[in-house]
Amino acid sequence: MAPRVTMLDAHVLDDHISKIFIGQTLKVFKFLPSWILNNCESEINVILQFLLTYYSVTKAKATFGQQLLGIRFNPDQLTDTKLVLFQLFTTGAEYIQSKVESPSKNFINNINILHLVVDVFKVASFLNFLLFLQQGKYPTLTQRLLSLSQESTRKRNIEYTYMTRELLWHGFSVCIHCL
C-alpha cells in the first residue's frame, strides 16, 4: 500500500496537470468564434479530462500524478469495467457539479434533485476523506466505490544519515555544554 501523503500528492498533481493541459488546449480555441467556447467550454473540459485520464490509466494503470510519484492502481483490481466506471464517475461527477453550480440558465439548473445529489456527493466525499485519513486506503470516493487501491511501484528507500548526523551533533553540543 502506498503512503497517504503520496496518494494525496498524486491527486493534487493530477489536478495541476489536467488544468495545464486543458488551459493550453483552450488557448487553441480562442481563434474560433467566441460562441463555441462560451457555450461548450464545460463539455470541452470534460472530453479533455476524460481523454487525459483514460489514456494514462489504460496504458500504465496509473494517472500521470501517480506515475510521477511511483504509485499505481492495483492491476488485479482494475478491470475494463472498473476503468470505464472510474472515468464516468470522475468526469461525470465533475461535469454535473460544474453545470449545477454555473449561473447560466441551462436545463440542468431546472432539475432541483441534482442540487441535492451534488450536496450528498460533497458530504460523502468529506466522510470518505475522513476515512482515508484514518485507514489510508481510498483517497477519493470513486476509488472507494470501485474498490481501487493503490500500490507502490518501487520500494521506499529510508536512510538514516540525517538522523545519525543530528544525533552526532546533539552529542557534540552536549559535550561542549558540559565543559
Concatenating the DSSP letter of every residue in 104-171 gives S--GGGG-HHHHHHHHHHHHHHHHHHHHHHHH-S-SSHHHHHHT--EEESS------HHHHHHHHHHH
Residue 154 neighbours by CB distance under 10 Å: 7
Cα–chain-centroid distance for residue 135?
18
Tally of structural domains, the chain: 1
Grid coordinates in use for 59?
A: 496504458
- In whole angstroms, what is the distance from residue 3 CA to residue 150 CA? 9
DSSP 8-state class, residue 71: E
Per-residue pLDDT of the chain (179 residues), as tens digits, is 788 888 999 999 999 999 999 899 888 888 888 887 778 888 888 999 989 988 888 888 899 999 999 999 988 888 889 988 998 888 888 888 777 777 665 555 566 777 788 889 899 999 999 999 999 899 999 999 999 999 888 776 666 666 787 788 888 888 888 87
CB-CB contact of 61 with 50 (8 Å): no
Domain that holds residue 147: 4-178
Q: What is the pLDDT of residue 123?
A: 95
Grid coordinates in use for 76?
A: 488485479
Enumerate residues 6+ apart whose C-beta is below 8 A from 78.
Answer: 57, 61, 148
If we measure between CA atoms, which residue out of 51, 67, 60, 58 comes closest to residue 18?
Answer: 51
What's the chain's Rg over C-alpha atoms?
22
CB-CB contact of 17 with 68 (8 Å): no
Q: What is the pLDDT of residue 53?
A: 86
